[in-house]
Amino acid sequence: MSTLNLTRAECAARGADIADVSYRIVLDLGNAEQLRVPTFVSRTTVRFTSASGQTWLDLAAEELLGLTINGVPADVSEYDGARIPLSDLRIGGAENVVSVSAKCRYSRSGDGLHRFFDPDTDEVYLYTHNEPTEARRIFACFEQPDLKASFDLVVTAPKDWVVRANAPETGRTEGEHSMTVSFAGTQRFSTYLMALAAGPYHLVEDEWRSGDQVVPLALLCRRSQVPYLAVEEIWETTRAGLDFYDEHFGTPYPWGKYDQIFLPEYNIGAMENPGLVTFNEAYLVRGEATLRQRTARASVILHEMAHMWFGDLVTMKWWDDLWLKESFADLMGYQVTQEVTPFDSSMLQFALSRKAFAYHYDRSPSTHPVVADIADLEAARQNFDGITYAKGASVLRALQELIGRDAFFAAARSYFSAHAFGTATFADLLAALQQVTDVDLASWAQDWLHTSSPSVLTPLPSVVEQGASERAPRRNPSLTLTQQCTDRITGRSILRPHRLDLGLYAVRDGALTATATVPVTFSDDAVEVPIESAVDLVVVNDGDLDYGLVRLDDRSRETFVAHGSSLPNPLTRAVVWSSLWNECVDAEQSFVTFVDAFCAQAPLEQHPMILESLGSFIAEGLGSYLPAAERDRQAARAAGAARAAYEQADEGSEQQRAWATACALIGEHTDALRDVLATIATGTAPALGGNLDLRWRAAQSLVARDAWTDEQIEELLRADDSMRGRTEALSARSGRPTPASREAVWARMFGEEQLSNDTQRALLAGFARSGARIADFGEAYLAMLREVWTRYPQSMAERYVRAMPAPDLAEGDVDSHPFLRQVGQLAEDPSLPEALRREIALQLDDAQRALRAQAKAARSGGEN
């Protein structure tokens, strides 16, 4: 095993040995504008105590220049590129002082210290991203979350740059061409949270006040992105969030200042660095943002803000408890957005999109308990997934309902008070929660947090009512609700405690009317629920307070397809749409049923958040869950519904923007929207011409249908001559559905060129749109899997693994598909790294699920 891959056991031993850590970090970035120079000089002084007298420092550098231990020069020959052995240290509580100087490499992958050349302005920008263990690419450190430390940072950079870090600037010395900036010493936090940004950033400043507390605020972005920086909206969200957390968490904001910076080529969505929160600049929408985009930006702002307490103030001891920060922050992001911002549809987004993220991982071979077993760093990297974030958030939301909202926040306040600036484990959190409730939380946690796979909740109608159809009976006054779950890891049957609402609805005068809401609490395999009168639609988990895959009975499904848009509550509609989608993903229903519902009900739907989610679902299903013989017909049906709704929507309305987005997605799968997409892509569509991102998405679908030329791409690029425009143009060209184009894109993806995150993502997205099939690229895909894991950073390697060409039912079913058999053999190959095998297994499961869905639609003959 590479010594870069730290294990839980060795870090636990080091954590028990080392204490009282502090860092002084001196970075010379004066050469950053010279792109031909690949490295910078890092000098680190580490102070700590050691019980054993020997340990190691983590450093991933190009060259170790020097090492002194307690003032004595030390041999550097044993440095292996990842670890610096330290021996003959002082023990007995005496302080050790270790100084390390090294040449470290500027990154192009988004890890460590990333250097970006802005072609829009010929400027260079730097920023850091260190989670989970990339700080060692910048300075020598003890790279594990439990060894929290204070940080004293000094940076030399070009004279006219803006330089920001976790703490406020305390002084600077200016030379002829450069300056040296000193920052205040920080409170204690983990190495992965150390942050720095340097470059000619645009800077906007303000402040937030609460009583006597004054927190300086700042927003930063590239200068070319200033027109898209929604300053007042972001300030409004930021202040509302700080007000909420200040009131509910009981600990004043702990990090002095609060900077938020939007970054190019960022390899994740955002990161919670104390005092300097980093965001992907994709959150700066180029044009009038949709409700979904604005809500997503608000929720991610409030997610990262929650981390200032959950994660930064109190940090998990090891990555097993990653959920201690991510599940809480995920819930807070959506819940607080719903409660304190104008974007009160946040929980709709959670129900439709975020839970789909959870179910995708939880039903797959990659499932794991929320409280995971993380043996090493490769496993830790892969657990930033739908279970750690969205399932954990869903379960915590259910916990809020179980013990009460006030008790939940009282436990949080106790937890912060007890462990401020330290680390914690699940047991610490459970103790804080148990103090505020009589509910047996140990048993609850065992059922929900220590098991894997989703429960399946199914309503079973009772007796057929006189005169009703045998296929879709109306219900007599009772039904049985069942739960079933087989833990995919252990094979055990799991029965969990559920608290949810059954929404009962009847069709009256052509519309659905609520007749009753029945609260249900059960932990057995089934519970009988009395109903006062016959109903047409039962909504299991109405209000979305529980977690589990919900099945619809025949009557409810048919009623929703006929009348779903008339449900009075948009969250109820979202819950049923989610249920119908999951039935199709699991091949319980033909995807044609989803198309039926989309065509009948989506044009009547008024909520733009639901419309945008439905557009994403329908496009994914058209590409994956239908046999080849059905794709054109069903895509044309969906396109007809989308076109009609788009044309009938009020000009400039949220609904029109939502339908335009849906048309852009659906248009990738059919020629029926060419004219609509052409007006959007060329900017001639009323009220949509200023949205550059939407124009590019429409253009990319046109290219995927071979309906746009390279000259038309160039014309749009002239209207958007920017780095982001060039990336979108690359993605468009990469999606041309010709053999020659696909071969060229594949060759570039795996050639010698050092790709940035944005370039890689653009090529992969285009390749997927081009319709590449297994018959043409299956063998090439299998051949590249071993190479990418050693050649690329793990985040980039995972994207390549996810580029598996789509399977077709005609090539073989789930059991006989020859290519998938080969993939399955790789997923079980013990010579491959465990993290790679896990990713391969996930792609295999997605492909098998697609084939099962295609087979279901084929057996149904185009209808269910």
Provide the token pair at 788.
């990418």
- What is the pairing mode between strands 213-221 and 63-69? unpaired
How many other C-beta atoms can be found within 10 angstroms of the C-beta atom of residue 404? 14
Q: Let me know: does 204 contact 219? Beta carbons within 8 Å.
A: yes
Backbone dihedral region of 99: left (phi > 0), alpha (psi from -120 to 50 degrees) or beta? beta
Q: Let me know: does 107 contact 113? Beta carbons within 8 Å.
A: yes
Query: What size, in residues, is the chain?
Result: 864
Question: What is the phi/psi pair of residue 373, to 5°?
Answer: -105, 100
CA-CA distance, 102 to 106, in Å (whole number)?
13
Closest CA relative to residue 607, chosen from 339, 344, 286, 237: 344
Q: Which residues are known catalytic residues?
A: 304
Q: Let me know: does 100 contact 46? Beta carbons within 8 Å.
A: yes
Helix ranges restricted to H, 435-483: 441-449
Closest CA relative to residue 500, chosen from 446, 546, 553, 450: 546
Provide the token pair at 694.
């939407």
Q: Let me know: does 163 contact 169? Beta carbons within 8 Å.
A: yes
Per 3-state DSSP, the chain is made up of helix, strand and coil in percentages (nearest 5) of: 45, 20, 35
Q: Which amino acid is at 279?
A: F
Count helices and strands (H / E) in the chain. 27, 28
How many other C-beta atoms can be found within 10 angstroms of the C-beta atom of residue 600? 16
Q: Let me know: does 662 contact 611? Beta carbons within 8 Å.
A: yes
How many other C-beta atoms can be found within 10 angstroms of the C-beta atom of residue 576? 27
Contacts of residue 767, Cβ cutoff 8 Å, sequence gap at least 6: 734, 735, 742, 745, 746, 749, 803
**Angle of helix 674-681 versus helix 654-666 axis, rounded to 10:** 120
Helix ranges restricted to H, 625-691: 628-648, 654-666, 674-681
Q: Let me know: does 620 contact 635? Beta carbons within 8 Å.
A: no
Q: Let me know: does 161 contact 123? Beta carbons within 8 Å.
A: no
CA-CA distance, 61 to 5, in Å (whole number)?
15
DSSP assignment of 395-442 equals: HHHHHHHHH-HHHHHHHHHHHHHHHTTEEE-HHHHHHHHHTT--S-HH
